[in-house]
Structure 1
């Protein structure tokens, strides 16, 4: 009913506007010229002298149908179609505007200045409405007209439009983004690695063709040939839990798809009003519950580090603390540092568009310029800053913090397994109670999108979503799973078929209930006890059922599910999941921030864009993996380890096989 009233209101505005235009001049362009003449003649309106003079040239250009003036007029927004469905943003024609360059005398030019502004459309009294509608409209005016001049100009058209300075651009502004010291440093950084890779690969090719052996392995550490073989190699290791590869890859894809939706929703859409209906649709709970993929990775983190340690503890009683932490840091940091360097030096030069500069600066560059150190120290999930460097990197911080305390559990588990298990279960129960109390006293909706108020969403994110202590339950359950996987592999126990059937039925039922559940929390009135219980139980419940899937598959009771999750393609793709996670968010912002027109949103279009996101992200991930991740791991191996048999797993090699994704 509300939508129908808005459509009627817009039609009334269109008709009344057309009547006004016809009464003043023949057509909108005639009305536009007359209004320009009025504001140029009025010397008391505080418009700049050069702006006034160039507006007069603009008006005369329209009268004489000059191409440059018609282009400036064409690039400016008019009242668009589809406002009743949420097409409340008209981005005009960005490129057409800033390309305008008209010489008016020997030393003077008129260039186009593109500005994007907002105005509130008052619907009071129209079609029995009592509301307002915010419109985003683009203006193309002479470059001598500032954003404040543009606001004054549009008052003559009975429009109160605010033009933020950061959303105004000319071709000169883009040309002013010349390369400075930071940019040249960024180019030098990546150029150095490009040269090293070229030399190392060339040398490796020479060794391969001449069938020679290298005396210094470090010379081929950066070889694309050598590292590329590692990326696509299929390993046969009896101790490997192959189903984890599929779970890791599917969870990563779920996260990328979730970020495609969330980022797309923050940009202008043709059917913007559809967003509310989309969120309230029960069928879309699959996307609203995508944060469960985060808890999958916390579960895998605890599982793998425990499983690998227990195997390595059979060969040595000492715990290599230094190598344990150093390996983890070297595993994560080189790729992370390279991405940060790219963001602060070269990202702003990648593209352009009406929203490009303001969005990329706000969402990525400013945060990394201020808080790059928090990201590299893995503490950015605390602090409640308005901007973050690599916002989705909060997961790496939370996971690293849990990893730092993991030796306490690992050492205890190898010496007093039963007592340690009881302690871990007790800690898990305490974490569940703490999450219940957090939901109770903060009075938050258990589904993030259910917290409509922005302040509530920020409390949800910083108090419940980011902290490592609220994420501990799945990680602790992962430690338990890792211990029992170790026992089952070592002792080769068989499971009763009835127990296997029960585990599979419960797992599938709970997985479906969690993935597609929670709809009532969004559509019904807030109920504190229900939301608090959901807060407390949803994460450990999810971790338990995923643990059931992994345990049964690892012990060959998974059937077709284990076959699918253990496909070789997942083993290969799982080697990219860390870099996929790091760069996908940036790739999506790059692809979306250069938009020139609003798009029509639906699930099919989002899926289409998602596969494009994945393709671009995979390409960038392959580059980062070959350039930074694998070479650093190879150098570390050369420096700190001796030759080992291929079947031997070590704590240092396996401890960081867990650094895989989530969402911000």
Structure 2
């Protein structure tokens, strides 16, 4: 073989990865026009191609590349199974309910409309499915109540989440060499990793959920003299979440008809086919509770049906456990606050238990941990499951307690408020600065010292959430301005 050879890199640390990215960007992608290709004999079978690609990428990705023998071709007949038929009927039924609810909601006031809305179940369905009511709720600018500013905060977080999943956590950046190579080895140096990606972003949503739930339930308990029906509490939440989850499940079964290609079957095996055996998990709100039974389950979604619903399951599970906290807080306010802090300490110690006792690596160590199965279990425990978010939920409830029972607490006036703003923003920024290198490509497990990760699990989330807790308290008590 003739030609010029490039030097090789022995990748061990984050700095070595940065050198590889810079080398590839300067010497490969800027000089080679066709930078993705694989030459194989024309007699190769799909199994041969699968073996070659798996040999190349498995050390990096830890999951096999498999090409299906059932190739796509023009005019290939569409075969529907029972899942497809039920999904088509279900999607049609949900769309019909949506259209009918929207039409009824848009009708002028009349005796017929008042009669329909007087029936509780029909009124509830129309409110849930009407495009008019939902559009007004989402896009309406005239909102009332002391928590109206939090809708804007949630909208910003949602946009931030979409950006992160599209350009950082998703696969798009891997196919954009200008983004992936030109910036990846520099992102730790220009502090972009302080904000993109931010693995703690979901804690902001959990914080808001705990705060709003606790405040709402305490108000209802005060109006009803402490009467609480747990079955009704759970059922209404389940009914509220289920239509969109069922619709997503139906679409998931029909997803295979939206594409084709040599690796389309492979993609379906990672993201769609699991629902044939695990379709009940989204319906039971257990999508985020995973179990890896063999060494082939080396990608998170390969054992997960409808992975996008993991947060809905998480929120529902925390919602179901929340009465343990707010009922005590309502009946015994002073002891209830102490009880919240006990639960907070318990929630902080759980991730440390998973890391130290069960020896499950944290999300930041997942890429470089030598045991693949342990890595997957660690990712599931430290990110997907509700135990990792108990402390955040409880912090939201403590914030609700402060807003509800101490809204006019004197904190030094405007000067005191300004100092609290500065201190809490610095606290949040310090955690972002601390973890900026954790997500740098090549930051290996042994780059953490013996105390860094336990200390991060102990104080990371409470300190990170400090500025957001103060933001919620300010916006809810009229202290937002200086």
Q: Could you say whether these structures have the same fold, taking a TM-score greater than 0.5 normalized by the shorter chain as the test?
A: yes
Q: 1:186 aligns with which of 75, 82, 87?
A: 87
Q: 1:215 aligns with which of 108, 112, 115?
A: 115
Gap change, CA 1:237 and 1:464, over 3 Å in 2: same
Shift of 1:474: 0.8
Deviations 1:311-330 (A, max 9, x none): 12221121122221111111
Corresponding residue number in structure 2 for 1:425: 341
d(CA) in 2 for partners of 1:446 and 1:171?
38
Gap change, CA 1:451 and 1:276, over 3 Å in 2: farther
Gap change, CA 1:419 and 1:151, over 3 Å in 2: closer
Shift of 1:411: 1.4
1:26-175 to structure 2, matched below 5 A, reads: 84-85=28-29, 137=38, 146-147=45-46, 166=67, 170-172=71-73, 175=76
Gap change, CA 1:450 and 1:147, over 3 Å in 2: closer
Q: 2:217 aligns with which of 298, 309, 320?
A: 309
CA contact (8 A) 1:428 1:476 kept: yes
Corresponding residue number in structure 2 for 1:589: none
- Pair 1:558 & 2:464 matched: no
Comparing 369-378 with 302-311, greater Cα deviation is found at 369-378
Gap change, CA 1:372 and 1:181, over 3 Å in 2: closer
Gaps of 5+ in 2: 8-24, 59-63, 298-302
1:314-333 to structure 2, matched below 5 A, reads: 314-316=222-224, 317-333=226-242
SS of structure 1 residue aligned to 2:223: coil
1:374-453 to structure 2, matched below 5 A, reads: 374-385=281-292, 386=297, 387-441=303-357, 442=359, 444=361, 447-448=364-365, 451=368, 453=370
Gap change, CA 1:274 and 1:488, over 3 Å in 2: same
Gap change, CA 1:468 and 1:510, over 3 Å in 2: same
SS of structure 2 residue aligned to 1:297: helix
d(CA) in 2 for partners of 1:544 and 1:160?
45
CA contact (8 A) 1:301 1:478 kept: yes
1:410-559 to structure 2, matched below 5 A, reads: 410-441=326-357, 442=359, 444=361, 447-448=364-365, 451=368, 453=370, 455=372, 457-489=375-407, 492-493=408-409, 495-497=411-413, 498-521=415-438, 525-559=447-481
Shift of 1:171: 4.0
Comparing 327-336 with 423-432, greater Cα deviation is found at 423-432
Corresponding residue number in structure 2 for 1:284: 192
Gap change, CA 1:319 and 1:138, over 3 Å in 2: farther
Gap change, CA 1:278 and 1:177, over 3 Å in 2: farther
Corresponding residue number in structure 1 for 2:150: 244
Deviations 1:221-265 (A, max 9, x none): 254345444443345433x31232122122222222222222216
CA contact (8 A) 1:258 1:287 kept: no
SS of structure 1 residue aligned to 2:185: helix
CA contact (8 A) 1:151 1:161 kept: no
Gap change, CA 1:440 and 1:231, over 3 Å in 2: closer
1:358-369 to structure 2, matched below 5 A, reads: 358-359=266-267, 361-369=268-276
d(CA) in 2 for partners of 1:243 and 1:472?
25
Deviations 1:31-50 (A, max 9, x none): xxxxxxxxxxxxxxxxxxxx
d(CA) in 2 for partners of 1:347 and 1:518?
37
SS of structure 2 residue aligned to 1:9: coil
d(CA) in 1 for partners of 2:313 and 2:100?
35
CA contact (8 A) 1:446 1:531 kept: no
Q: 1:342 aligns with which of 248, 251, 256?
A: 251
Whichever of the two has the greater Rg, that structure is 1
CA contact (8 A) 2:72 2:261 kept: no
Corresponding residue number in structure 2 for 1:233: 140
| Higher share of residues assigned strand | 1
CA contact (8 A) 2:350 2:387 kept: no
Gap change, CA 1:367 and 1:267, over 3 Å in 2: farther
Corresponding residue number in structure 2 for 1:127: none
CA contact (8 A) 2:360 2:378 kept: no
Shift of 1:396: 2.5
Gap change, CA 1:211 and 1:505, over 3 Å in 2: same
Corresponding residue number in structure 1 for 2:5: 9
CA contact (8 A) 1:255 1:291 kept: no
Shift of 1:546: 1.3
Gap change, CA 1:181 and 1:409, over 3 Å in 2: closer
How many residues are paired up?
Answer: 429
- Pair 1:298 & 2:206 matched: yes
RMSD: 4.0
1:619-658 to structure 2, matched below 5 A, reads: none
Gap change, CA 1:294 and 1:413, over 3 Å in 2: same
CA contact (8 A) 1:252 1:293 kept: no
